[in-house]
A and B are shown apart, each in its own frame.
Chain A
C-alpha cells in the first residue's frame, strides 16, 4: 500500500533471445498509477517468432501488468507470432480472459436518438407540461373554492408564517432596491427634463412610473427570486422526502395544505410591499431632485400629488397582487413536480425563478393592454 519499507524493485521486463524464441521475464512491482514499459519500444525492431513469458521476481502487480501482457498478446496475434502464456498464475489467466472478452465483445450501445424522435419527444413534453400546468391551476381554483367554503379548515398559521417570511423579512431588500430604482429614474429623467427647463417634472415621471409600473414590477422580481425559489426548494425537498405522498395517502390535498397558504400569503403581501416600494421610490427621486436639481422636497411632493391619482396606485396594486399569485403558482408548481433528488430540487428552484419572471413580464404586458382599453 504506502511506499514500501524496503527498496522497491523497479518495474522491469527482461528480454532473453534464444534462437528465434523471445523470453519475456517479468519483474518488480507493477502499479497502474506508474508508467509501464512499452512493448514496441522494448522490442526495438526485432521480430521474434515465438514469445514466451517468464514469471520472474515479481512484487506487487495489478492491472498495469495485465495491460502489458494483453498488449503483447495482441501484438503477437497481429504479427502471427505464437505467444506462450503457460507460466501465468491462475488469477492472471482469469483476468486476461476477462479483458479479452471485453475487448472482443465490447460494443458501445448507441443510445442517441435521431432528429425526428427528439422533436417528437420535445413536442410531447411541451404538451404534457401544458396539461400539467392546466391541471395545477385547476386544482388551485378548487382549493380556493374550498377555502371560501370552509375557511376554518384553512392553514392560517402556515399562511401567517409565510406572510412573515415573504413580506416582513423581504423589507430590507425591497427598501434598498426600490430606493435605488427611484434614484436611477430621477437621474435618467433629469437628463431629458433639464433640456426644457422642466426640472420639476422629474417628480411626475418618477411618481407615475414607480406607482404604475416599477413598484409592482421590482417587488415581483425580488420575490420571484427570493420567495418563488424558496417555495420550489421547500416543496421539492418535501417531495423528495415523501412528505407530499404522506399527505396524499392521508386524503389531504397537497394543494390545500401547502400551496394555498403560500399563494394567499404572496397575494396579500405583494401589494403591501409594492405600496412600500412606491413610497421609497418616490423618496429616492426626491433625494436626487434635492441634491442635483435643487428642488425642495415640499415642491417635489406637491408635484407628485398632482401627477398621481388613486387609479394609478390601484392599477399598480392590482398588478402586484396578480404577480404575487403568479410567483406563488410558479414556485409551488415547480416544487411539486420536482424530481426526487438533490439535483431535482435545484432544478425546481431554477425553473421557479425562470417561470416566475416569464409570467410576470407576460402578464405585465397583458395588463398594459387591458388598462389602456379601460382608460386607466
Chain B
C-alpha cells in the first residue's frame, strides 16, 4: 500500500506535551523506522507515559505533529483519525481488558466493529490471535480469572486483532516477574518477526531495553526533552550524557561491565 519504504512509520516533529498549562516535554523530534522495536525510556516521572498518550491521540499535543506513515495524525479530521486508529494497536499497562467480556470476546470486539467478517471467522481469527500470544484454550476465561502476565498477553492479542502496522506498548514489564517479563519480550520480538509490525515501547526495564530494543530515545525531566537517541548497547558506554550512561548502567556492576565490554554492533 505504501510504496515508499523510506517514509518512517512514526514521525514526531516539534512535539510539545503537557497537561493544562504545565508543559512536560517540549520540542521532541524523533522517527521510528518500519519494523523497528523502538523504546521510549527515562526515569519515572519524566513524561514517558504522557508522551505515549499524546502519540495515540488520547491527548492533543499543544504544538508539533505526530505523523503515521507520513500522514499527520493530530491535525487530521476526526473521521480520518478514526480511520488511522484502526491501524494502531495499543497494549495498556494492565492489559485494559474489558472485564465483562471473555478473552475471546475481548479480541473479537475490534473485529466486530471494523471488519466485514462473519461470526465464525471472527471467532477463528480471534482464537488464532490468542494462540499466537500463548493463550490457546483460554477463550472462555474472563479477565478476572487470569494472572497479570496473561492479561497482558490477552491485551496484546486484542491490540493485534486488526493487524495494526504500529503497536504501542505501555510499560509491558510493569508488575511482571523477570521470567514472565522476558517471555513477553520474546513474544514481542517473535510477533514482530512474523507480522512485521512496528513496535513503540515505553519502558524503563533495563533487561528489556538491552534484549529487544533496536533503538531508544531517552527523556529527561529537567531537560524536558530527549537527551539521547540510538542503540542502548552503544549509549551505555559511549553516550554523550552522563545521565544516560548512569541510567543504562544502573544496578549490577558486573553485568554493566559485561555489556560495556561487548563489542558494539
Contacts and interface: CB of A to CB of B under 8 A. Distances in A.
B144 interface: yes
Contacts of B115: 32-33
B117 A1 contact: no
A102 B196 contact: no
A11 B72 CA distance: 26
Contacts of A62: 163
A91 interface: yes
B136 A102 contact: yes
B1 A59 contact: yes
A149 interface: no
B128 A1 contact: no
A67 B117 contact: yes
A91 B194 contact: yes
Interface in B1-21: 1-4, 7, 9
Nearest to A109: B140
Given A33-B115, A63-B163, A102-B131, A5 B139 contact: no
B116 interface: yes
B132 A5 contact: no
Given A6-B3, A101-B131, A341 B121 contact: no
Interface string A68-85: 000000000000000000
A34 B7 CA distance: 24
A282 B194 CA distance: 78
B128 A60 contact: no
Contacts of A29: 1
A95 interface: yes
B125 A63 contact: yes
Nearest to A111: B140
Contacts of A4: 1-3
A2 B68 contact: yes
Interface string B153-174: 0000000001101100000000
A201 B137 CA distance: 74
A60 B9 CA distance: 14
B156 to A, nearest CB: 15
Interface in A204-234: none
A102 B1 contact: no
Given A2-B87, A34-B116, A99 B2 contact: no
A102 B87 contact: no
Contacts of A95: 128, 194
B1 A32 contact: no
B100 to A, nearest CB: 8
Interface residues on A, range: 20 to 34
B71 interface: yes
Given A33-B114, A109-B137, A5 B70 contact: yes
A208 B35 CA distance: 80
B116 A1 contact: no
Nearest to B113: A33
A106 interface: yes
B140 A5 contact: no
Nearest to B9: A1
A105 B131 CA distance: 11
A98 B69 CA distance: 29
A6 B5 CA distance: 12
B71 A343 contact: no
A32 B89 CA distance: 14
- Chain B CB count within 10 A is highest, among A2, A62, A108, A343, for A2
A137 B265 CA distance: 68
Nearest to B131: A102
A67 B121 contact: yes
Interface string A4-19: 1110100000000000
A63 to B, nearest CB: 5
A227 B166 CA distance: 48
Given A6-B3, A59-B1, A67-B125, A1 B165 contact: yes
Contact of A33 (B86, B121, B139): B86
A35 interface: yes
Contact of A2 (B83, B99, B128, B162): B83
B212 interface: no
Nearest to A70: B124
- Chain A CB count within 10 A is highest, among B2, B3, B9, for B2
A56 to B, nearest CB: 15
B194 A35 contact: no
Contact of B116 (A35, A63, A108): A35
- Chain B CB count within 10 A is highest, among A1, A91, A102, for A1
Nearest to A28: B1
Contact of A108 (B70, B86, B136, B140): B140
Interface in B96-127: 99, 111, 114-117, 121, 124-125, 127
20 contacts: A1-B69, A1-B87, A2-B83, A3-B71, A4-B2, A5-B70, A29-B1, A32-B115, A33-B115, A33-B162, A35-B116, A62-B163, A63-B125, A67-B117, A98-B131, A99-B128, A102-B131, A105-B136, A109-B140, A343-B99
Given A6-B4, A91-B195, 7 more contacts: A1-B68, A2-B69, A2-B70, A32-B115, A95-B128, A108-B140, A109-B137
Interface of A: 1-6, 8, 29, 31-36, 59-60, 62-63, 67, 91, 94-95, 98-99, 101-103, 105-106, 108-109, 111, 341, 343
